[in-house]
C-alpha cells in the first residue's frame, strides 16, 4: 500500500499571504504515477514514511527534491525522491505570477496486511 499526501506550504511565504499568492502543490488533475514500492523493501519487510521537499518551477515541473524526513530505509527514500521528480505540480503564485517555490510531499510505504485464513465452517451434525 502506498499513500501520498501533498503538504501545502512554503517556508518562504508569510502566514498572511496576499491575494493571488498560493503555495506549490501536487497537481491533482494530472495523473502522477505513484513512486514504486521497491520489491527488495517489501521482501525485507521495510515500510515507513518519507517527507520529500520539492522545488517546483513556474512550469509545474520539479527542479530538485531531497529527503526532509527519512523512513530509515535508503531504498524507500530513494524511490520516493525519484518518483516525485517525475510528477507534475501546480506552481506557486506570487502577486498572480507563477514562481519557483518549495513544497513538501509525504510518501507512506506500508506493507499490505495479510488476510487471515478463513476458518472452516463448523458442521452441526447430530
pLDDT digits (tens, 9 = 90+) for 1-49: 555 555 544 444 444 456 789 999 999 999 999 899 999 999 999 999 9
Q: Is the pLDDT of residue 62 over 90?
A: yes
7 within domain boundaries: yes
Query: Does any domain span residue 104?
Result: yes
Q: What is the domain extent for residue 51?
A: 2-109
Report yes or no on 73 lying in a domain. yes
Query: Under a CB-based contact definition with an 8 Å cutoff, are residues 24 and 91 in contact?
Result: yes
The residues, any chain, with a CB within 8 Å of residue 9's CB and separated by 6 or more, are 23, 103, 104
Under DSSP, is residue 65 helix (H, G, I), strand (E, B) or coil? strand
Which residue, 62, 77, 68, 51, is CA-closest to 25? 62
**How many structural domains comprise the chain?**
1
Taking the C-alpha atoms of residue 27 and residue 31, their distance in angstroms, rounded to an integer, is 8
pLDDT at 10: 43
Say which CATH number the domain at 34 has. Answer: 3.30.2420.10
Residue 91 pLDDT greater than 90, yes or no: yes
Single out the residue of 84, 102, 76, 111 nearest to residue 4, CA to CA: 84
What residue spans of the chain are helical by DSSP H? 39-43, 74-84
With respect to residue 119, please indicate whether it lies within any of the assigned structural domains: no
Amino acid at each position: 500500500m502506498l499513500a501520498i499526501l501533498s503538504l501545502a506550504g512554503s517556508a518562504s511565504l508569510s502566514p498572511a499571504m496576499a491575494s493571488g499568492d498560493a503555495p506549490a502543490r501536487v497537481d491533482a488533475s494530472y495523473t502522477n504515477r505513484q513512486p514504486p514500492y521497491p520489491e527488495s523493501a517489501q521482501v525485507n519487510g521495510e515500510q515507513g514514511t518519507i517527507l520529500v521537499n520539492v522545488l517546483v518551477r513556474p512550469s509545474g515541473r520539479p527542479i530538485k527534491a531531497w529527503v526532509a524526513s527519512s523512513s530509515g530505509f535508503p531504498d524507500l527514500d530513494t524511490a520516493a525522491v525519484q518518483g516525485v521528480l517525475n510528477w507534475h505540480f501546480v506552481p506557486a503564485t506570487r502577486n498572480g505570477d507563477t514562481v519557483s517555490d518549495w513544497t513538501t510531499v509525504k510518501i507512506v510505504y506500508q506493507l499490505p496486511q495479510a488476510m487471515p485464513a478463513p476458518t472452516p465452517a463448523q458442521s452441526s451434525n447430530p
